[in-house]
């Protein structure tokens, strides 16, 4: 089945005849539905078709929001200051719209007290409950226990809204204010 550039069906044509018809019109013969019975071919400018297809794919990719996975590493005996430092990084990652993987590493005999690692992870969940939800529950893998925090829908939307800049002061108004200030200074002298 052959379809011309306007969408009109030309019927079943032999391949050489369809190619010559397309060539006379300055177009290419492109098979658009090879699985159909009979296969469907169309007259079109194939270069322009590929260009538009790539352009659409590029535009779709441009508007796509990318979410990265950032990792935070701690131990069950992480000090308070270090914990707050890591928590600050985690909140920054979440407000930027990224996921955060919090991993507790057990050193030496610490693995016998895995509940201390669970306590640290629960503390992270509690401290980030306004910004994140747990997308992967804490699980123990060898000498490490990890979980993944994902930003809430509200946090993600806030991360992707552009910050409005303050309007710049008009040059004439700034110049006028400067002249008035100089005039007042001269009057005082």
Average pLDDT over residues 142-166: 77
Q: How confident is the model over 71-89, as pLDDT tens digits? A: 999 999 999 999 999 999 9
The DSSP annotation for 133-159 comes to EEEEEEEEETTEEEEEEEE-HHHHHHH
Tell me which residue of 75, 102, 76 sits closest to 91, measured CA to CA: 102
Q: In terms of residues, how long is the chain? A: 189
pLDDT value, residue 165 = 47
What ranges in 45-152 are assigned the alpha helix state H? 46-62, 80-95, 114-127
């Amino acid at each position: 089945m052959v379809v011309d550039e306007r969408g009109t069906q030309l019927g079943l044509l032999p391949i050489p005849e369809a190619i010559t018809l397309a060539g006379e019109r300055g177009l290419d013969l492109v098979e658009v539905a090879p699985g159909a019975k009979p296969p469907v071919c169309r007259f079109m400018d194939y270069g322009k078709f590929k260009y538009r297809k790539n352009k659409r794919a590029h535009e779709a990719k441009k508007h796509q929001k990318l979410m990265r996975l950032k990792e935070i590493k701690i131990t069950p005996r992480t000090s308070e200051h270090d914990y707050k430092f890591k928590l600050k990084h985690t909140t920054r990652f979440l407000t930027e719209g990224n996921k955060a993987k919090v991993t507790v590493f057990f050193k030496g005999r610490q693995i016998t007290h895995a509940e201390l690692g669970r306590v640290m992870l629960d503390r992270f969940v509690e401290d980030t409950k306004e910004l994140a939800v747990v997308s992967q529950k804490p699980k123990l893998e060898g000498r490490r226990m990890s979980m993944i925090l994902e930003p809430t829908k509200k946090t993600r939307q806030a991360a992707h809204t552009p910050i409005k800049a303050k309007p710049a002061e008009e040059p004439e108004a700034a110049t006028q204010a400067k002249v008035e200030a100089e005039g007042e200074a001269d009057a005082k002298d």
